[in-house]
Amino acid sequence: MSASAILRDTSTLASYNVILQVTFRLLTFFLNAFILRHVSQEMLGIVNVRLTLLYSTAVFLAREAFRRACLSIGGTHAWPQTINLLWMTFPIGLLSSAGLAYIWIYCLHVPDSAVVPGYRVAVLLFAFSVLLELLSEPLWVVAQAHLFIRLRVVADGVSVAAKCLLTAGLVTFVPHWGLWIFSLAQLLHTGLLSAVYVGYFSWYIGSPAARADNFPLSTWRSVFFCWKGKPFNRSLVLLIKSFMLQSFLKQILTEGEKYIMTFLNLLNFADQGVYDVVNNLGSLVARFVFLPIEESFYIFFVKVLTRGADVSQQNQEDLQLVAKVLGSLLKIVQFIGLTILCFGFSYSHLALHLYGGNALSQGIGSTLLRCYSVYVLLLAINGISECFVFAVMKQQELQRYNMYLVAFSCIFLTLSVLLTQALGSVGFIAANCLNMALRIAASVRYIHRFFAHSSHRPLQRLWLSPNMAASFVAVWALTSLSEMYMYTGAGIQGMVLHLAVGANCLVLLLIVMNKSEPELLIIARRHILPGQQQRKSE
Give the least confident one: 290-294, 369-373, 481-485.
290-294
Q: Is the pLDDT of residue 157 over 50?
A: yes
Give the least confident one: 43-57, 354-368, 497-511.
354-368
Task: Give the Cα separation of 444 and 326 in Å (integer).
Answer: 12
Task: Give the Cα separation of 521 and 495 in Å (integer).
Answer: 31
Radius of gyration of the CA atoms of the chain, in A: 24
Which pLDDT band holds residue 135 (cuts at 50, 70, 90)? very high
Which pLDDT band holds residue 6 (cuts at 50, 70, 90)? low
Q: Percent of the chain having pLDDT more than 90? A: 26
Q: What does the pLDDT look like over 226-270, one tens digit per residue?
A: 777 777 878 888 888 888 877 777 787 778 778 888 888 778 787
Q: Is the pLDDT of residue 4 over 80?
A: no
What's 231's DSSP letter?
A: S
State the pLDDT at residue 184. Answer: 95
State the pLDDT at residue 75. Answer: 47
State the pLDDT at residue 532. Answer: 37
Task: Give the Cα separation of 197 and 205 in Å (integer).
Answer: 12
Return the H-helix or E-strand segment holding 512: helix 491-516
- This prediction's pTM: 0.69
- What is the pLDDT averaged over residues 90-111? 94
What's 465's DSSP letter?
A: P
Q: CA 421 → CA 53, 415, 434, distances in Å?
A: 22, 10, 17
- What is the pLDDT averaged over residues 206-223? 84
What's 175's DSSP letter?
A: G
Q: Is the pLDDT of residue 218 over 90?
A: no
Task: Give the Cα separation of 73 and 252 in Å (integer).
Answer: 26
Which pLDDT band holds residue 12 (cuts at 50, 70, 90)? low
Q: What does the pLDDT look like over 407-428, one tens digit per residue?
A: 888 888 888 889 988 888 888 8
**Cβ-contact 403, 376 below 8 angstroms:** no
Count Cβ neighbours within 10 Å for each residue of 171-195 and write b for 16 or more, e otherwise.
beeeeeebbbbbbbbbbbbbbbbbb
Highest mean pLDDT among 68-72, 130-134, 234-238, 402-406: 130-134
State the pLDDT at residue 351. Answer: 86
Task: Give the Cα separation of 82 and 75 in Å (integer).
Answer: 12
Residue 509, classed as helix, strand or coil, is: helix
Q: Is the pLDDT of residue 180 over 90?
A: yes
- What is the pLDDT averaged over residues 123-145? 93
- What is the pLDDT averaged over residues 70-94? 81
State the pLDDT at residue 240. Answer: 87
Which pLDDT band holds residue 490 (cuts at 50, 70, 90)? low
Q: Is the pLDDT of residue 192 over 70?
A: yes
